[in-house]
């Protein structure tokens, strides 16, 4: 059974994002924007998952730069390090330690069934490494270290939560209550932002078509150009309906940045063409991202501040993670270190 919470205790949310390069509008609206709003309602713990990133070969200098820029950008998006521990995964060694232990409680067949392993293996056939295969155990360690109740995920990541729960249940069944069983937190809107050029596929920074995705730090003129070129359909009617993937995607984006409902959007653009609609979506996104651009420029120029923030975040995270790891190691039977 799960331990009962005290009446006034907030639920714990853990989430992490890889600093592997450009953060897209899809990343922001599907995950990061929701992170910000959760900070008052939940005890949130956020991380840059840089250990996961090295399953694909990285150029060291660029990797460090990407991590620093991603940290600054997430602060600019609204993560408050005073409210929510926000750290760099590789700086909290408990993640790697627990991941190895959980590797030994994760079945080979479970890892074989993970769709992301299959996808990445096809994309990087010359580097199908063991880390690519076992990274779900590290992901489970990320979550279980903090006894998370909820994990914000896209609809395509529910498989990871299911595996994390399976691992936790297996360990708890062997050794008694150790880990909470986390649930996925999927927002009602913006959970999956699609490509502007192929709206049947998720927006991705790796898309070869430069007009398919929008980076959070794209220049306003580039954002407008990409939206004006977004794929729609031949109906020329702004309404949500099956088969109108491009329009449905644009309406979802517009809802995320303006708060308008589908009914309000349809009324706003009644009798207007897609040109007006795409321009309005682009303008709304530009204005929504403007303060983020300004804050990012401020943070990225202050490296000392960024270093102080992620050092403090690592200290806070380690204090929580260490308690869970000690409990796990004691239950497995490791000799206990006195410190």
- pLDDT for res 190: 53
- pLDDT for res 127: 85
* Span 175-210, pLDDT tens digits: 999 999 999 987 665 558 999 999 999 898 878 899
Tell me the two tokens of residue 178.
């150790």
Q: Where are the domains of the chain?
A: 12-191+303-332, 220-297
- If DSSP codes are grouped into helix, strand and coil, which group holds residue 207? coil
pLDDT bracket for residue 156 (50, 70, 90): low
pLDDT reading at 244 higher than 70: yes
Secondary structure (DSSP) of 61-122: HHHHHHHHHHHHHHHHHT--TTTS-EEEGGG-THHHHHHHHHHTTS-HHHHHT-HHHHHHHH
Among the ranges given (89-98, 111-120, 139-148, 184-193), the one the predictor scored with the smallest mean pLDDT: 184-193
Among the listed residues 147, 123, 143, 240, the one whose alpha carbon sits nearest the alpha carbon of residue 189: 240
- pLDDT for res 281: 97
Mean pLDDT over the full length of the chain: 91
pLDDT reading at 339 higher than 70: no
Among the ranges given (83-92, 115-124, 178-187, 270-279), the one the predictor scored with the smallest mean pLDDT: 115-124
- pLDDT for res 9: 83
- pLDDT for res 27: 87
pLDDT bracket for residue 30 (50, 70, 90): confident
pLDDT bracket for residue 79 (50, 70, 90): very high
Architecture of the 220-297 domain? Orthogonal Bundle (1.10)
Domain 12-191+303-332 has CATH 3.40.50.620: yes
Q: Which active-site residues does the annotation give?
A: 120, 202, 205
Averaged pLDDT, 8-32: 87
Averaged pLDDT, 216-230: 96
- pLDDT for res 336: 87
d(CA 136, CA 40): 29
- Neighbouring CB atoms inside 10 A of 5's CB total 12
- pLDDT for res 84: 95
pLDDT reading at 21 higher than 80: no
Tell me the two tokens of residue 223.
């954002």
């Amino acid at each position: 059974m799960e331990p009962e919470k005290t009446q006034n205790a907030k639920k714990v949310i853990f989430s992490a994002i890889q600093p592997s390069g450009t953060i897209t509008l899809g990343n922001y609206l599907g995950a990061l924007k929701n992170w910000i709003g959760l900070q008052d309602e939940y005890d949130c713990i956020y991380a840059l998952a840089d250990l996961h990133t090295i399953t694909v070969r990285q150029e060291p200098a660029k990797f460090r730069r990407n991590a620093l820029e991603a940290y600054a950008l997430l602060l600019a998006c609204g993560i408050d390090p005073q409210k929510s521990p926000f750290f760099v995964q590789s700086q909290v060694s408990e993640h790697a330690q627990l991941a190895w232990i959980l590797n030994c409680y994760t079945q080979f067949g479970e890892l074989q069934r993970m769709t992301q392993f299959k996808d990445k293996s096809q994309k990087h056939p010359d580097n199908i490494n063991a880390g690519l295969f076992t990274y779900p155990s590290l992901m489970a360690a990320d979550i279980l270290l903090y006894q998370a109740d909820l994990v914000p995920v896209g609809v395509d990541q529910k498989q990871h939560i299911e595996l994390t729960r399976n691992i936790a249940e297996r360990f708890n069944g062997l050794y008694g209550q150790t880990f909470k069983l986390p649930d996925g937190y999927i927002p009602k809107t913006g959970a999956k932002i699609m490509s502007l050029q192929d709206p049947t596929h998720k927006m991705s920074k790796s898309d070869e078509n430069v007009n398919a995705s929008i980076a959070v730090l794209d220049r306003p003129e580039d954002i407008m150009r990409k939206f004006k070129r977004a794929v729609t359909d031949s109906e020329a009617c702004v309404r949500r309906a099956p088969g109108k993937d491009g329009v449905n995607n644009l309406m979802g984006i517009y809802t995320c940045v303006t708060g308008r409902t589908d009914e309000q959007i349809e009324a706003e653009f009644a009798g207007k063409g897609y040109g007006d609609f795409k321009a309005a979506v682009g303008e709304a996104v530009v204005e929504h991202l403007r303060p983020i651009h300004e804050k990012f420029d401020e943070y990225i120029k202050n490296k000392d501040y960024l270093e102080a923030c992620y050092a403090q975040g690592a200290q806070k995270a380690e204090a929580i993670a260490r308690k869970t790891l000690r409990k796990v190691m004691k239950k497995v039977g490791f000799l206990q270190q006195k410190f």
